[in-house]
Structure 1
Amino acid sequence: MQKIQAHDIKREELDGRGKYTWALDGLEAELQYTVTSKDVRTADHAVVPPALQGSGVGHALVERMVNDARNSGWRIKPVCGFVASAKEKHPDWHDAFVN
């Protein structure tokens, strides 16, 4: 599998809901979030098809959200267990999360 690049991940946001998506050969992984305030996005749910699990796509989606949070001045509240686990594995990301 190819290395997943940030520019390959699409971000959509509409009416207080958003998602990051990455697709390959008809398979799509996504990270859904809610805009809870101008300063916080709640990471609600990550979906990675079984065929893509272990490929690093889930990590790439969270990393893209972390980078967007840092660049845009908002922080992430991890409701999704996958995102919470990724946060714990990456202490260098903690600045992008709500404590």
Structure 2
Amino acid sequence: MTEAPTTIEHEDNGSKGRYFLRAPGGAIAETTYTNVGQHQIIIDHTEVPDAFRGQGAGLRLVTRAVEDARAAGKKIIPLCPFANAQFKKHPEWADVLKR
């Protein structure tokens, strides 16, 4: 197992965006989202390739999305099954969960 990359990168093109990690071998773990207006995002997909398994990469990516949403005053709709499961495990994220 390789060491987990530490820097989460972020891309936002206006309507869609992603948080991602790059492994030294080129594999990419990512959480993608769609902007819904100025105050909401939909997390629609999280993918963690085998190069990242067991390193908490998916949780780190969703956590970063939560932190950024909180800082921007946005709410999150977690349509992605992984993100939805993490929201259920982290009640401290309730302030950014769109109900």
Same fold (TM over 0.5): yes
With normalisation by structure 1, the TM-score equals: 0.90
SS of equivalent residue, structure 1 residue 30: strand
With normalisation by structure 2, the TM-score equals: 0.90
Task: Count the aligned residue pairs.
Answer: 97
2:23 equivalent in structure 1: 24
Gaps of at least 5 residues in structure 1 are none
Counterpart-to-counterpart distance in 2, 1:69 and 1:3 = 24
List aligned pairs for 1:1-99, cutoff 5 A.
2=3, 5=6, 8-25=7-24, 26-99=26-99
4+ residue runs over 4 A deviation:
1-5
SS of equivalent residue, structure 1 residue 98: coil
Return the letter of the residue paired with 1:78. Answer: P
Percent of aligned pairs with the same residue?
A: 35
Gaps of at least 5 residues in structure 2 are none
After superposition, the CA RMSD in angstroms is 1.4
